[in-house]
Amino acid sequence: MRIPATYSIQPRTFHFRQPAGTSRGVYTTRKSWMLTLKAADGTEGKGECAPLPDLSYDWLPDYEEKLQRFCQLLIEKGSIPVAEMLPYPSMLFGMETAMLHLQRGSAALLDTPWSRGEEGIPINGLVWMGRIDEMMARIQQKLDEGFQCIKLKIGALGWKEETAMLQRIRREYDKEEVELRVDANGGFLPNEAPDVLEVLAAYGVHSIEQPIRAGQWDEMARLCRQSPVPIALDEELIGWHTRSERAHLLDHIRPSYIILKPSLHGGMQGVREWVELASERGIGSWITSALESNVGLNAVAQLTASIYGPGISLPQGLGTGMLYTDNIPYPLEMRGQKLWFKP
């Protein structure tokens, strides 16, 4: 087993091909900290630590200093200081990735049919917020590329305009042809949400992600009980680090799905625990990337294949590999609606 002897941290800024609009604002750049661990024999392992501004629990002004302290503990102990890192999930995920890369000596971090290049992972086609005509053009592009599941960002353009867009989509494609998922990023008020959910049900939407902002447990639980459309939690899961906290949240709200990002929801070990707790309660789940570069995306996909594979049928949220003009080359390839690893 290779033990890291030294480390280095390199900040890096990635640039979006086109502005990425959400109800929280528009992204044009993305900052990550690239972590490299090096063993005494010269073998290296790389990971990506990528918190999201104003969303990640560990988006902090002294982020790099804290990451350096955890790396020093890693070098001293020879293992990841998991207990100390639970409140810092993006750092933990980057370190888990770098350690797996160091041990395996390959970007194939976990041994699965996907990492052996034997099967692909189906993913949804992500359509960012923009003008209605722009979004319709992006939807058509995704369909032309072979996607059957489309995820739309909603909650910022104006509900009237977004309803008109859903109507246009369903006029051209029924729910058997195109599965629609929507992500509100907490963009609706609790008193608005029931009417929104009724409209979404009328257009055969598969699910809505985070209809109201996180922290309103009673309101979210009520929506989950009454909604005609399955509700999925995402931002709601941020900041809960222990098994008992996570179980309490799921028991209180009882969503239909949870959507997991290792950089936000506890790293690799945290995601595995969330999936286990959800499965015990009959709650579905899928995994998405959190706008990482290909280094982080590969690690998310490796984890996804390990948890749900072989033969994943539910589309995952791993369609971020082409977001950046200056992404890091990696052995990932899109074929139709599936993400493949090229060993």
Spatial distance between the Cα atoms of 283 and 236, rounded to a whole number of angstroms: 15
**Given this model, what pLDDT does residue 19 score?**
79
Range with the lowest mean pLDDT among 147-151, 157-161, 245-249? 157-161
String of DSSP letters for 319-337: --TTSBTTPPP-SEEEETT
pTM of the model: 0.95
How far apart, in Å, are the Cα atoms of 259 and each of 85, 108, 262? 21, 24, 10
Which is it for strands 125-127 and 179-183: parallel, antiparallel or unpaired?
unpaired
- Which active-site residues does the annotation give? 153, 261
- Domains delineated in the chain: 4-104 (3.30.390.10), 121-341 (3.20.20.120)
Q: What is the pLDDT of residues 322-336, one digit of tens each?
A: 889 999 999 999 999
Mean pLDDT of all residues belonging to the chain: 94
Query: pLDDT tens across 13-35, in order?
Result: 999 988 776 656 778 999 999 99
Beta bridge partners of 6: 38
Average pLDDT over residues 71-90: 97
CA–CA separation, 108 and 314 (whole Å): 22
Tokens of 307: 């948890």
